[in-house]
């Protein structure tokens, strides 16, 4: 079993429904959700002039490679209806790979652990719910 952590975020439309749809789509792509944090409402990061986000972290089991998981999460974003905007802009759904087992990966288009993990409390707080031991306080 390969344990991974995924972050979900939404700040447009029916945010809760988008998170729920993303969880269902992830399962359809072979992601087995083991546990999920509570949903947190947070202020936007980066570009502040936009609606607040709902954020959640999932602990999942994934049978494939990190690159395969990236392909799956991008397909989930598309299936849920994510439209391209601008960096840190509003979005229907965002699915990020935070951690993939104990691997450290630095490839084109794929960095694990997620490069913003240490500075983004909107991801750290829900991750601590699932794994209080995984982050330095």
Residue 2 · residue 63 · CB < 8 Å: yes
SS3 67: helix
Q: Which of 23, 35, 87, 91 is catalytic?
A: 91
Contact in structure between 16 and 42 (CB atoms under 8 Å): no
118 labelled catalytic: no
Instruction: Name which of 29, 14, 37 is nearest 78 in CA terms.
Output: 29
Catalytic status, residue 96: yes
| Residue carrying structure tokens 């994934």 | 62
Catalytic residue among 23, 68, 87, 96: 96
Determine the Cα–Cα distance for residues 13 and 22; give it in Å rounded to an integer.
14
Q: Is 91 labeled as catalytic in the residue annotation?
A: yes
| Catalytic site residue from 23, 82, 120, 124 | 82
Q: Which of 15, 48, 67, 94 is catalytic?
A: 94
Residue 49 is a catalytic residue: no
Distance of CA 54 to the CA centre of its chain: 11
Q: Which residues are catalytic?
A: 82, 91, 94, 96
């Amino acid at each position: 079993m390969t344990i991974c952590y995924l972050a979900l975020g939404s700040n447009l439309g029916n945010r809760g429904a988008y998170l729920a749809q993303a969880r269902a789509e992830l399962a359809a792509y072979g992601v087995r959700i083991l546990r999920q944090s509570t949903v947190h409402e947070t202020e936007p990061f980066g570009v502040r002039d936009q609606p607040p986000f709902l954020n959640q972290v999932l602990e999942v089991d994934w049978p494939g490679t990190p690159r395969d998981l990236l392909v799956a999460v991008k397909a989930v974003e598309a299936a849920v209806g994510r439209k391209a905007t601008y960096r840190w802009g509003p979005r229907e759904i965002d699915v990020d790979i935070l951690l993939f087992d104990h691997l450290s990966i630095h490839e084109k288009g794929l960095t694990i652990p997620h490069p913003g993990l240490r500075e983004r409390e909107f991801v750290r707080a829900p991750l601590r719910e699932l794994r209080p031991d995984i982050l330095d306080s």
